[in-house]
């Protein structure tokens, strides 16, 4: 039903855009247009141009899982407390981006830092084409700023990694044998009330053949956490399949590169100047605060075109 609704919305949008184009074409052919009519025509054409650009962008979202919801995980890397704070800033950026798109978010797992920030966090983002739009965000993100955790306010470079996976709701798409799993339970950490912290409601699922691990502690019951962990595991298996296919294509083209901390995809500089630069597409924006507030669409669009050509 969700897929049907999305397709129906696309059909309605297409028919509306088609009719608007026909009306504008007829209007433009009229003789003796008044200046105010010509000005209105220009405004309408600009709106249609924007709509066509959005449609062009959707043609880049034809991957097997692009229309799916997304699981996004942020992990702090090199940089100590600054890196953990940076990871939380990144998480907030993606939550704001989801909010700007009208998508829903649900925090599934979180490991807080001792002093500030987060060590890691996983959030489910529910919205049409959430995975398709966000998949290009996977990789290492670098921050350069004056450290708020240093008494001398020294310049600090911090790293955090982002992992994006499609949500696989249909169990039949990726069947997993019970004997391939190891399931561990433990007590949840952090806020959640006495029941959450005093019972072993948190669940960690390990897929033995691949070594992939998924954990969830956000729900109150062990059964709910197990269902969420299994959903995360299927997503990880799907992402592993996607990455293996992409790596094989790169090998055939002779372009294969290992993923390492030095291969960051984007840098965010807050001192001595402000700049956000994507190292794959060379897209740059000087308004770093706006980007960190979730205004990512310029980077998302350039990433999609880059990924399509690679």
Q: How far is CA 106 from CA 99, 125, 227, 288, in A?
A: 12, 7, 14, 26
pLDDT tens digits along 124-148: 999 988 999 999 999 999 999 999 8
pLDDT tens digits along 151-205: 777 889 999 999 999 888 766 567 788 899 999 988 776 554 444 455 678 899 9
Q: Structure tokens of 125?
A: 């983002």
Cα–Cα distance, 218 to 184 (Å, whole number): 16
For residue 158, the 8-state DSSP code is E
Alpha helices in the chain (DSSP H): 2-28, 35-58, 80-100, 130-134, 193-198, 222-253, 288-292, 297-309
Q: How far is CA 188 from CA 108, 122, 218, 229, in A?
A: 12, 15, 8, 14
297-309: b (≥16 Cβ within 10 Å) or e:
ebbbbbbbebbee
Indicate whether 102 pLDDT > 80: yes
Say what angle helices 35-58 and 2-28 make with each other, to 10 degrees.
150
Between these two residues, 287 and 150, which has the higher pLDDT value?
287
Cα–Cα distance, 108 to 275 (Å, whole number): 32
**Residues whose CB is less than 8 angstroms from the CB of residue 152 and which lie 6 or more positions away in sequence, other chains included:** none
Cα–Cα distance, 215 to 217 (Å, whole number): 7
pLDDT tens digits along 16-51: 889 988 888 888 888 777 888 888 888 888 888 888
Domain boundaries, the chain: 2-58, 70-167+265-309, 177-251
Tell me which CATH code domain 70-167+265-309 carries. Answer: 3.30.70.1660
Cα–Cα distance, 166 to 131 (Å, whole number): 6
Indicate whether 259 pLDDT > 80: no
pLDDT band of residue 6 (cuts 50, 70, 90) is: confident
Tell me which CATH code domain 177-251 carries. Answer: 3.30.160.20
For residue 123, the 8-state DSSP code is E
pLDDT tens digits along 63-98: 888 888 999 999 998 888 999 999 999 999 999 999
């Amino acid at each position: 039903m969700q897929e049907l609704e999305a397709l129906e919305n696309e059909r309605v949008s297409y028919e509306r855009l088609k009719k608007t184009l026909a009306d504008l074409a007829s209007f433009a052919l009229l003789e003796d247009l008044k200046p105010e009519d010509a000005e209105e025509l220009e405004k309408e054409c600009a709106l249609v141009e924007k709509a066509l650009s959005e449609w062009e962008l959707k043609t880049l979202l034809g991957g097997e899982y692009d229309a799916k919801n997304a699981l996004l995980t942020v992990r702090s890397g090199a940089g100590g407390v600054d890196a953990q704070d940076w990871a939380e800033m990144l998480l907030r950026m993606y939550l704001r981006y989801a909010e700007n798109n009208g998508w829903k978010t649900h925090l599934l797992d979180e490991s807080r830092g001792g002093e500030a920030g987060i060590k890691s966090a996983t959030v489910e983002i529910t919205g049409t084409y959430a995975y398709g739009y966000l998949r290009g965000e996977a990789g290492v993100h670098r921050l350069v700023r004056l450290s708020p955790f240093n008494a001398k306010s020294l310049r600090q470079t911090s790293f955090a990694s982002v992992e994006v996976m499609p949500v696989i709701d249909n169990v039949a798409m990726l069947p997993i044998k019970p004997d391939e799993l190891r399931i561990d339970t433990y007590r949840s950490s952090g806020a959640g009330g006495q029941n959450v912290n005093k019972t072993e409601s948190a669940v960690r699922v390990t897929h033995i053949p691949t070594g992939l691990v998924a954990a969830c502690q956000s729900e109150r019951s062990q059964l709910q956490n197990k269902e969420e962990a299994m959903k995360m595991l299927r997503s990880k298996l799907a992402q592993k399949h996607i990455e293996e296919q992409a790596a094989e294509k790169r090998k055939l083209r002779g372009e294969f590169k290992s993923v390492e901390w030095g291969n960051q995809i984007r840098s965010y500089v807050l001192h001595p100047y402000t700049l956000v630069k994507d190292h794959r597409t060379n897209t740059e924006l000087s308004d770093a605060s706006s980007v960190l507030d979730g205004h990512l669409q310029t980077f998302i669009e350039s990433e999609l075109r880059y990924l399509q050509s690679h």
